[in-house]
Chains A and B, each alone.
Chain A
């Protein structure tokens, strides 16, 4: 390490003392230091704004940037890949005192984060209906891994509706916050990130798959959650959403 870097680093946190021997002070010195401090802070806040568009829309730009300013001081970030920046923002929002009256913010931030993760996740061919049909009766014993982009959620409150209403306005989801259980799948089977509501039986089925259990066990779990559920229809619906990874199934089979 060098004395200069240590001193400049401290100055970025507002402690200028060690930096004076390394600069030629002038009337604009503090202004110049502010440029560096502001650029770094603005870069992080801009990244956060880009990564949490629904939260931004809900609270407005002024509130968002003021809150983000507090967050970036606490979690300044470790790496130059700014799409990764602010992964801890949803949990932080849940603890952020001024957001206490907006209990929907943290869950909606989690869904924004899942959208970004799905957007940038590894590419994979989703399992098609044709491939599933070819697997025939052997299907029940196979493990169906989820597509790398798939993110599953189950909430006791209506966070999925609220989030869908902002992020996918064409779904006409009700913009209301009440205690009613809702499930959501966020997935990018091909190019576009898609969001779909899940029934409890669908969520239980996918949750079992996520845990590495075979399709047969997932079907039994779904049946337990919703006795009498139409399993072929449930499975067909999930395949249409592109939520399974075709490759992992082929691998297990061979």
Chain B
């Protein structure tokens, strides 16, 4: 039996052969990989065959970026069908998306756009999520996005809004600790209090990534850039979260200025150690 997923890595094409060959020993025993399904919605070719090879050796997570669940248009049925085909083929252990939107009026924005946490938006998101979970045949996890802009008309705080969505749709939560840190810094709230409020039983996965200060605003405006190592502040928040709720599959994401595979593996090992520490103590 393969070991349970512990710490994972976002899979990049330049690392396919190293990822496939990585032995399941030490911190890499529970290594798993995550991909954006949008990058594999292709007819054929080496991308899909690499993913098959890696999936044969490791657990896989599909983490969508294009469903636009918080949009004001219904989910794209063709996109859902292609997502479903990947789920059927690769049998991911977890399927996730974002509390964000990206599509409107025939234009797709490669970004995770925000909404106010209002009753109107709650209804929209829950309707879309119901439809998506039905079409995909899976319970999904929903991720908290990074916040940059102070929106008016919030009726809920972010954790309560996510919990209400989970209560109404049966979805779980993917807690992106870097996004909590970035949002807390940009919006001026306590990341610790935010994390302490999350009901542990809803959390199915955790994300860690790097961020950068905005080139103009500096530390006053942090950007969830995914192009830097995980910061010490985020590692500390991760320790705090898993100490309270227990170990969860934890992903290290890096999408820009991607370092060599061993550098990513070192971050993955650090996350695996943090998870092992709470498992031993519990």
Nearest Cβ distance between residue B212 and chain A, in whole angstroms? 11
* A121 contacts chain B at the CB level, 8 A cutoff: yes
Q: Mark A1-40, 1 if CB is under 8 A from B, else 0.
A: 1101100110010000000011111101101111110011
Residues of B within 8 A of A148 (CB): 43-44
Q: How large is the interface on A (under 10, 10 to 19, 20 to 34, 35 or more residues)?
A: 35 or more
Residues of B within 8 A of A124 (CB): 44
Residues of B within 8 A of A26 (CB): 150
In this complex, the member of A24, A36, A39 whose beta carbon has the largest number of chain B beta carbons within 10 angstroms is: A39
Across the interface, do B214 and A79 meet the contact criterion of CB distance under 8 Å?
Answer: no
Across the interface, do B38 and A29 meet the contact criterion of CB distance under 8 Å?
Answer: no
Complex Cα–Cα for A121 and B42 (A): 7
* B186 contacts chain A at the CB level, 8 A cutoff: yes
Binds B, one of A80-88, A100-108, A218-226: A80-88
* B41 contacts chain A at the CB level, 8 A cutoff: yes
Chain B residues with a Cβ closer than 8 Å to the other chain, count: 48
Residues of B within 8 A of A4 (CB): 72, 115-116, 121, 153
A47: nearest residue on chain B (CB-CB)? B110
Complex Cα–Cα for A21 and B116 (A): 12
* B46 contacts chain A at the CB level, 8 A cutoff: yes
Across the interface, do A9 and B45 meet the contact criterion of CB distance under 8 Å?
Answer: no
Complex Cα–Cα for A5 and B71 (A): 7
In this complex, the member of B43, B109, B152 whose beta carbon has the largest number of chain A beta carbons within 10 angstroms is: B109
Across the interface, do A82 and B110 meet the contact criterion of CB distance under 8 Å?
Answer: yes
* A188 contacts chain B at the CB level, 8 A cutoff: yes
* B216 contacts chain A at the CB level, 8 A cutoff: yes
Nearest Cβ distance between residue B156 and chain A, in whole angstroms? 15
A24: nearest residue on chain B (CB-CB)? B150
Across the interface, do B152 and A21 meet the contact criterion of CB distance under 8 Å?
Answer: yes
Residues of A within 8 A of B217 (CB): 28, 31
A12: nearest residue on chain B (CB-CB)? B109
* B106 contacts chain A at the CB level, 8 A cutoff: yes
A36-B113, A121-B45, A123-B45 known; A80 vs B65 contact (CB < 8 Å): yes
Across the interface, do B47 and A120 meet the contact criterion of CB distance under 8 Å?
Answer: yes
Residues of B within 8 A of A77 (CB): 107-108, 110
Residues of B within 8 A of A180 (CB): none
Complex Cα–Cα for A31 and B215 (A): 10
A35: nearest residue on chain B (CB-CB)? B148
Across the interface, do B110 and A32 meet the contact criterion of CB distance under 8 Å?
Answer: no
Nearest Cβ distance between residue A22 and chain B, in whole angstroms? 6
Residues of A within 8 A of B196 (CB): none
8 Å CB interface, A128-175 against B: 148-149
Nearest Cβ distance between residue B117 and chain A, in whole angstroms? 11
B149: nearest residue on chain A (CB-CB)? A32
* B79 contacts chain A at the CB level, 8 A cutoff: yes
Binds A, one of B17-25, B97-105, B126-134, B235-243: B97-105
Could you say which of A36, A44, A47, A78 contacts B148, with CB atoms under 8 Å apart? Answer: A36
A21-B152, A121-B43 known; A80 vs B110 contact (CB < 8 Å): yes
Complex Cα–Cα for A35 and B213 (A): 11
Nearest Cβ distance between residue B101 and chain A, in whole angstroms? 7
Q: Mark A61-79, 1 if CB is under 8 A from B, else 0.
A: 0000000000000001111
Complex Cα–Cα for A47 and B65 (A): 15
Residues of A within 8 A of B103 (CB): 79-80
Nearest Cβ distance between residue A199 and chain B, in whole angstroms? 28
Complex Cα–Cα for A33 and B151 (A): 11
Across the interface, do B109 and A35 meet the contact criterion of CB distance under 8 Å?
Answer: no
- State the B residues within 8 Å of A (CB): 38-39, 41-47, 49, 65-66, 71-73, 76, 79, 101-111, 113-116, 120-121, 124, 148-153, 186, 214, 216-217, 220-221, 223
| Shortest Cβ-Cβ A-B pairs, 7 listed | A80-B66, A43-B110, A123-B44, A32-B148, A120-B42, A32-B149, A122-B43
